Structure formats: structure tokens, C-alpha cells
Structure 1
Amino acid sequence: MDRPLDIFRALADATRLRILALVRRMELSVGELAQVLGQSQPRVSRHVKILADAGLLERRKEGSWVFVALGRAEVIGPIAAAIDGWGSTDHWAVADAARLQAVRADRTAAAAAWFEAHAREWDAIRSLHVADAEVEAAMAAVLGLDGEGGAPIGALLDIGTGTGRMLELFGDKARTAVGVDRSSEMLRLARAKLAGRPVELRQADLYQLPLADAAADVAILHHVLHFTAAPEAAIAEAARVLGPGGRLLIADFLAHDREELRAREGHARLGFADAQVAAWFAAAGLQTARVETLEGGELTVKLWLGRKGGVRLREVQAA
């Protein structure tokens, strides 16, 4: 089929233009798109299919939900540039953006409430699905901290620190160590656990980290990403605070179909595929440096390491 003709036919509808604009802001489920647009899910699904068939969107099934993401960059790029170049903003775009903010706020509030309610059980909840000792040893190896003494890792940032386990494990290998979490109850428990250690804990949103650009050498997202409303935005913000040569280590689940985890344990996403994380890394300016797979539990755990280009000035001076 003729790709340009398919694309322009797909975009020759106001609702589909609205859908494309929304998904350019963040990945959304079909249900969330229906909520923002004020239309039925079957109708939205039909529009999404047309856009997907034209290569403008991709659909990804996670349990009973279907998430919608942008298509390949070579297809989306020229269309996005044209739309932005025309610079037209109608009342639908303004209203949709406001409703999208409400959807995102609902996601965030639900996650925050779940964490506050389960803070005391947090370490036990994670152990139901993760062989912690195996995952932690693998993380140390990926970061080069498994040898005698281990190599220093500079400025460490633990994003979504929870009860502070990553700071407990790796904080003494860092020049400075900062943990960020949105939950005040989680931070209270982390402060008790880390009392006397030279670490800093801050209450902040992972989409708006309280650090300057290039402030961190290593950032960790340990079993955090599957709770996030917009994983791609969380990765982009983590990449922002990394300096040249900085590393982002994600420990999370491989894509699965355990739908009950949404309600029972507050999961927003049912794991991630390697290609999905690699695409988010690339969009955030990170290269995929290493991928590890840890099997044997109820869910498969993945480690994804992304590296930012460039070399820190102090590394050049040391050489």
C-alpha cells in the first residue's frame, strides 16, 4: 500500500488527530484515551487501529489493557514536524490537554495512596516476586561493584527510593548519595533505616527531580517503573540529571500477563519488553549498554543499563 496515502487518510479525521496529539504527550491506554476524548472504547479502538495500520501508532497489550504508543520515528517525525510547523491550536487541543492532566493526576494519586497504605509492608511485598539477593548481586555486578571493595560510583541518585534499600546497598560506594520519593511515609521509614549514614533523602516527584542537569553519575530505578504513569517520562527525567558518561540502571519486570497485580499491588504497567526500554533509552539520549535476565521467580526480572554519551571533565583530568 502507498504509505503517504495511508498516513493522510488516517489523519483525515479530527478524532484521530486528537488521539495522535495525546499520544505524543505520553503513552495511554485505550480506556484512558476514551476518558479524555469522551467517547466509547470501541469507537476509540477503531480510530487507534486505523492510525496503527498507517504506522503512526503502535498497540501493546498488557493483560486486559491495550496501551498506545507512537509509531516508528521515521514515520512520525515528518508528520509531527508538519503539525508543529503549522502551529494551529484549537479548543479541542486545549480541552484534551486539560483532561489528560486530570488522567495523569488520577494515576499519580492512586499510586501515592497505595504506597502510603503499604509503606510498612513494602519490603515484604517486593519479596513475593523478586529474589532480592540475586537481583541485588546482579545490580552490583552491572555497576561494577561486585569485586573487592568495588569501584566508586560518584554521585548516586536512587529514584523512588522507598525504604532506602538501594542507598543501604550502594550508598557507601558513592561520593554522594541522594534518595528521592514522593511518599512521606516511605521516606520516614527510610530515614529510620538509614540513620547515621551519609545519605540525603528528599521528597519529590520522579518526573521533576530536585537536581540540576548533569548532577548525577549513576541513577537507579529499582522496581519503580511499573508503578509509573508515564515510564518514558520518568526515564527522560532521569537522563536529564545524568552527566556525560552517566549511567541509568533499571531493575524491573519483563512483560507479563499477571493482570491481578494492577489491583492487588498497584502496578500501573505489566512489565516491559527489551525493545520498549531500548526505545525509551534512545529517545532520552541514552545508549543501551547492558541487559540482564534473571529468571526463577514468579516473574522474570530484567536489568537494563543505559549510558549517556560523553566523558565527565574530571575523568579526562584523571586520565
Structure 2
Amino acid sequence: MSAALDIFRALADPTRLRVLHLLRAMELAVGEVAQAVGQSQPRVSRHIRILAEAGLIERRKEGNWVFLRLGQGADVQSCLALFDSLSPSSTEAMWQAADLARLAAVRAERARAAEAYFAEHAEEWDAIRSLHVADVDVETAMRGLLDGAPIGHLLDIGTGTGRMIELFGPSADQVTALDRSPDMLRLARAKLPADAGDKYALLLGDFAALPLDRASVDTVLLHQVLHYAQAPELVIAQAARVLRPGGQVLIVDFAAHEREELRTRDQHARLGFSDAQIESWFAQAGLELERVETLPGQELTVQLWLGRPHGAPPIEGRICA
């Protein structure tokens, strides 16, 4: 009975109802919620504490920021179903429309911050891109390799700017994007669709210790990430751990090369990988290398390695080449 009382007490405030309405649209930082409801952050933080104590929302710390999303319990879903069954009054509808308009301004600010970051670092990105095949060719090859099976729950390890969730998110049932940089996660959020809701979860974490349960995702992507790993075999083992039976792991990275400046200038821990290395690490993790695709560039070759758990039925059309 106390849980029900906590929930109804938490809902007995118009601002807290507005916060829930906003979080149905997308995950938000505390400051962004304050901006959307037009109240001070200390006041909003008090409302958030009450909602969190009732289990209606969840808080997640990411660097110096705290992000909020709807609680995942059955009680929360029941409350949302109740909201959907009730028609808002004219005053409530007005507040909801005003809050969503301010939420659009939050999205615009995220996009502006992303553009400013890329403008500042454009030369660094362009210097690396000029060495290998065009991004559009890589993305086309990725689509081709992943076309044989449903994406399901997608895990994008080292999401960076969020391009992979922008590319494959619409085809996924659920998306989890992980990065160890809060700045990168803020850039990735600028790529989320306006109707993202709770389909997308962006997490701060380490690719060598994934904060996910065993056998919880269907597709794992590591796009231009593995060369930052001091122990790539551990990263692949973690990807295999969270993969469901019948799932798939796609690694996109450089073939072995000798561009030493990428190690000293761009902090690449590994100067690319050979097919034999990836196949060996896959085998150690219980994965089978199902297909390899090679995309030669100006000075660097991009490789795509697709793996699935040992014993998984083959998908028609996939042959290790």
C-alpha cells in the first residue's frame, strides 16, 4: 500500500506531471528539464527527487551531468496508460504544448553544440578521413552485411558522434549507445529523432566492462572503436557476453597499417588489425567469423568483420570471403 501512496503523492503536483510528460518524449538532463518547464534548477531537482523516490523516474550520472528517464517498472507503465485514457483540460493542454515547444529549443541547442564541436575539430577528422575510403561506402557495406537478420536490440559501443544510431536506430527495436566521453554522448543526443521516447538509452561506460546484462542485445557494433583498446580481445569478449544466441557482432576498423602518427597524434592504441587476429579473438569469445569485407582507401584499408555465436544457424547469403 505504501508504494501506491508514494506514487499518488508524487503525482499530486502539476510540475511533476509536466516532467513525466517531457520524459515520455526523450531522456533529458536536469538542467534541460528546468529549461523546458521554465523553473529554477533547485526547484526542479526537488520535484525530481520525489518522482525518483516513487520509482516513476530513474536518474543516471554522466560526468558532471545527471540524466533522467522514465522508470521501467510495471507501475510506471500503468500510470502512463492512465494518462492516455484521460483527456487533458484546456489548461493542461496549453502547458503541454508550451513545454514541448521549449523542448524543441533544447533539441536545437544540442544540435548547435554538435555543429560547434565539429567546426572546431573539422581539420582533425578530415585528416584521418582523407586516408581511407569515403564514409558513404563504409556505411553501404555495413548495411549490406546487416541486411540478413533483424537488428533487434542494438548496442553501439563507442557511439562517438552517434552516427551509427542515426543510421541503424530506425531499424532497431531498442538502442543502447555507450561511450566513455560525456562530451561525445552529448553530441550523440543531437542525433536522436524527435520521437525517440524511451527507445534510446545513452550510457557512460567502458567498452572493456560493459554495464549490460549477459545475453541482453541482438546486434553489437564497434565502428572505428577497437583501435583505441589496449586489450581488444577483452572488448570482443565483453561484446560476446552481452550478445543473445543468434545475435551478431560487426566490427569496422582499419586493416593492419604502419601510420605511426595515428598512435602519437590521435591516440590509436593499435595500428589496425589482421583477419587472423580478429578471427582468433572471436574464437576465444565463442564467436565465429562469418564474413569479411575489404574496402581499400588512399592509404588505409577499412575492414568489416561480421561474427556470430558458435552454433548459430547461418544466414542465407553470408559467406566468409
TM-score normalized with structure 2 length: 0.56
Shift of 1:266: 1.2
* 2:147 match: secondary structure: coil
Paired residues of 2:131 and 2:297 also in contact (CA < 8 A): no
* 2:282 match: secondary structure: helix
- 2:183 is matched with 185
Q: Match of 1:154, as an amino acid?
A: G
Shift of 1:120: 5.1
Change (3 A) 1:160 1:118: farther
- 1:269 is matched with 270
Q: What is the rounded CA distance, in whole Å, between the counterparts of 2:308 and 2:150 in structure 1?
A: 17
Q: What is the rounded CA distance, in whole Å, between the counterparts of 1:178 and 1:237 in structure 2?
A: 15
Unaligned 5+ segments in structure 1 are 1-115, 146-150, 313-319
User: Superposition pairs for residues 1-319 of structure 1, below 5 Å?
Assistant: 121=122, 124=126, 127-130=129-132, 131-144=134-147, 152-196=150-194, 197=196, 198-310=199-311
Q: Match of 2:302, as an amino acid?
A: V
Paired residues of 2:178 and 2:204 also in contact (CA < 8 A): yes
* 1:144 match: secondary structure: helix
Shift of 1:200: 1.5
Shift of 1:296: 2.7
Change (3 A) 1:243 1:125: farther
What percentage of aligned pairs have identical amino acids? Answer: 56
Paired residues of 1:119 and 1:185 also in contact (CA < 8 A): no
Larger Rg belongs to: 2
Paired residues of 1:256 and 1:271 also in contact (CA < 8 A): yes
Q: What is the rounded CA distance, in whole Å, between the counterparts of 2:302 and 2:270 in structure 1?
A: 14
CA shift digits 1:131-185 (9 cap, x unpaired): 100000000000117xxxxx63111000000011100000111110110000000
Q: Match of 2:171, as an amino acid?
A: K
Q: How many residues align?
A: 192
* 2:214 match: secondary structure: coil
Q: What is the rounded CA distance, in whole Å, between the counterparts of 1:118 and 1:207 in structure 2?
A: 31
Alpha-carbon RMSD: 2.3
Q: Match of 1:128, as an amino acid?
A: S
